[in-house]
Chains A and B, each alone.
Chain A
Amino acid sequence: MTELEKILNCIYEGVDEVNEQLPDGQKLKKSPDTVLLGESGKLESIDLVNVLVATEDSLEEEFGVPISITDERAVAEKNSPFATIRTLSEFISNLLKENSDG
């Protein structure tokens, strides 16, 4: 499994956790193209918080290092890394690279 696939699986675990709480019509699809943030997204802001928190937990278990995906850059960036599951996974991949570079 590639690193990006592992990251996607961690995000999907986060999605699973939040889907348990969401009504049928609002459940998130586990696909890289799923919109998390923005007008076409289905998530309430608290649900996005829940997805991100659950994803961080899965990442910590998978990669064994504490990781914060909600750092200042993520919130401030013009093109939010939380726009879709794909942009989130790419953002996490960069974070992990920065962490391992020290």
Chain B
Amino acid sequence: MLITGTRKGIGAQLAKHYAGKGYQVIGCSRKEIDFELNNYHHFRLDVANETEVKKAYLEIKKKFGRLDVLINNAGIASANHTLLTPVKTVQNIMNTNFLGTFLFSREGARMMKKNGFGRIVNLSSIATPLALEGEAIYASSKAAINNFSQILARELAEFGITVNAIGPTPIKTDLIRSLPEEKVDRLINFLPIKRYGEVKDVINVIDFFIQPESDYITGQVIYLGGV
């Protein structure tokens, strides 16, 4: 299982959870990680750098031989009014969130194709269906991921690879801490189920997507919290 963005937040907890369950987990992040795990191998790379990603996949192929599950988790957020958003911010968000998801999916699907089996799970967000003000770029990057997941699902179906996405509600991670608390509270109150999301909620949906019985589930986006 390969998970992107495992240094902190949801990614780190997913890595710990699945390594603990006995999966051979491969993770990656731009900066060094501060944890050690059994069944865990880490790459330091930028998910939007094609050369670095391809090199990592070559090593994965040599070391592990196959890939069954890819979780495109790496993501960054920035809340700002569009009129005040610098181009550099847009490029950073689109590169990490969308380009990274594209690159890892392309290379991952090539490996999965060989075994006629694969599960790709992409991280979307409720910011997309709720069209949240101040999150135009972040929500757009996740909208791109949704559409990409649906089309990729069609293109990869014949290889036994499913592609789905999960859209979490706010979970208490660094990504959320950068947003004003009052704004997040207002958002939580707007949800049908009024609480913060937890990583266990994300794991629950990922477990559903990756189980062998879900070979007839593809191109779906599941949002948490009733959105």
Interface residues of A (CB under 8 A from B): 46, 53, 57, 60, 66
Contacts and interface: CB of A to CB of B under 8 A. Distances in A.
The secondary structure that dominates the B interface is: helix
A20 B70 CA distance: 27
A66 B54 contact: yes
A32 B22 CA distance: 48
B110 A53 contact: yes
A33 B110 CA distance: 27
Main secondary structure of the interface of A (DSSP, over half): helix
A86 B55 CA distance: 28
Contacts of B110: 53, 57
A66 B55 contact: yes
Interface in B76-128: 110, 113
A60 B58 CA distance: 8
B156 to A, nearest CB: 11
Interface residues of B, number: 7
A66 B58 contact: yes
Q: Which residue among A53, A60, A66 has the maximum number of chain B CB atoms within 10 Å of its CB?
A: A66
Contacts of B113: 53
Nearest to B107: A66
B32 interface: no
A93 to B, nearest CB: 20
Contacts of A46: 158
Closest CB pairs A-B (n = 7) = A66-B54, A53-B110, A60-B58, A66-B58, A66-B55, A66-B51, A57-B110
B208 to A, nearest CB: 29
Contacts of B51: 66
A13 to B, nearest CB: 13
Interface in B54-81: 54-55, 58
9 contacts: A46-B158, A53-B110, A53-B113, A57-B110, A60-B58, A66-B51, A66-B54, A66-B55, A66-B58
